[in-house]
Structure 1
Amino acid sequence: MVEESNLIGDGSQTCSLPTIPGKHPDLKSITNQTVVDVISGKYDDTIGSFLIVDCRYPYEYNGGHVPGAINAHRPEDIPSILNQHQSMRNAASDKRHIVIFYCEFSSERGPRMCRNVRNADRDLNKDSYPFLNFPEIYVMHNGFTDFYETHQNLCEPQAYTPMLHKDHSDDLRHFRSKSKSWSGGSKRRVSGSRLF
């Protein structure tokens, strides 16, 4: 199985996209050029549909994103990602259906959402293991920062709003406070103290 490390999530075949060693060895990473190739149709012979998920906060997404990407940054967004499966399958049932995740650097939020979608997909299909709705999921290496640097002309709009942008400090505080409650109890608030 080690030799076949490029298998998709259900183990049935190898990845249709070229992968690279990424920051997260448990996830499949692709370059931003590969994402551009997917968008431009280079893989249309094998990929029937694709979904690109921007896992950044809404003000970051609205400040510039990969063309066609949807914004999904909360756990409540996972069911809508999984619900895309049926409409994607209807589009081209004999081809592959992939999902690509990213965030600002693809270090935390994108990989976390990727794992959470995979876990929800596994749970949804636990009675038919190893079947998955989306066996082929990827993380865009180095995130939107790298994509913007090399493909600014493709961004919608052609801009980049970083997470730590000074005009969005209130938004950042809001979303960070929400993300603590979204973490499912793994980050616990301790009365009278703060963790830094």
Structure 2
Amino acid sequence: MQAVETLELADKVADGSRDYTLPSIPGQHRDLRSISPEVMADVVSGRYKYLFSDVTIVDCRYPYEFEGGHIKGAVNLFTKDDVSALLHRPVSGDKRHVLIFHCEFSSERGPNMYRFLRSQDRELHKDQYPALLFPEMYLLHGGYKAFFNKFKVNINVQFFFSFYILLL
């Protein structure tokens, strides 16, 4: 009963062990914790690095979408098997391992994979409730499209600069 009461607190991660690290916003999916494209940019730039042992940006789009452009450091996990495999890889560090899900608009695929992984994590740890391997997860509000629209100038400049360096 105490575990359930702890989890009802809005600022606690899903296992109730600590507060959320990233500032969140109200999103389209009320059952999921959402972050803005600006917060995602801060994560990618390393602003929160001292708080995480690791962060995994899970891009749930199809491979052809991912190959057409993606957020720096993202991994393309677009099937349930791909996402489920996260539960079987070693988690290192004494700090937090944070997952951030998204798809093109974060309206279907990203949220569904977020929920799927949470469900699998709960099932895997049902004997140690409320323990989870990944208690802190987020959804990128507006998905890749919102992130790209907000930061496309920076993405294009970075791409051009990287391309120029490759030519030297």
Q: Does 1:26 align with 2:31?
A: yes
CA RMSD of aligned residues (A): 1.8
Aligned equivalents of 1:154, 1:80: Cα separation in 2: 30
> Which residues of structure 2 form unaligned runs of 5+?
160-168
Aligned equivalents of 1:119, 1:142: Cα separation in 2: 23
Tell me if the contact between 1:67 and 1:154 (Cα under 8 Å) persists in the aligned partners: no
> Structure 2: which amino acid aligns with 1:5?
A
Q: How does 1:34-73 map to 2 (within 5 A)?
A: 34-73=39-78
Is the helix fraction higher in 1 or 2? 2
Cα drift, residue 6 of structure 1:
2.2
Q: Count the aligned residue pairs.
A: 152
Cα drift, residue 79 of structure 1:
2.5
SS in 2 for 1:133: coil
TM-score normalised to structure 1 length:
0.72
Aligned equivalents of 1:66, 1:22: Cα separation in 2: 20
> Structure 2: which amino acid aligns with 1:52?
I
Q: Does 1:102 align with 2:106?
A: no
Instruction: Name the larger-Rg structure.
Output: 1
Cα drift, residue 3 of structure 1:
7.6
Deviations 1:126-155 (A, max 9, x none): 111111000000000000001111122337
- Percentage of matched positions with identical amino acids: 46
Aligned equivalents of 1:35, 1:118: Cα separation in 2: 21
Aligned equivalents of 1:3, 1:116: Cα separation in 2: 20
TM-score normalised to structure 2 length:
0.84
User: 1:149 maps to which residue?
Assistant: 149
Q: How does 1:69-84 map to 2 (within 5 A)?
A: 69-84=74-89
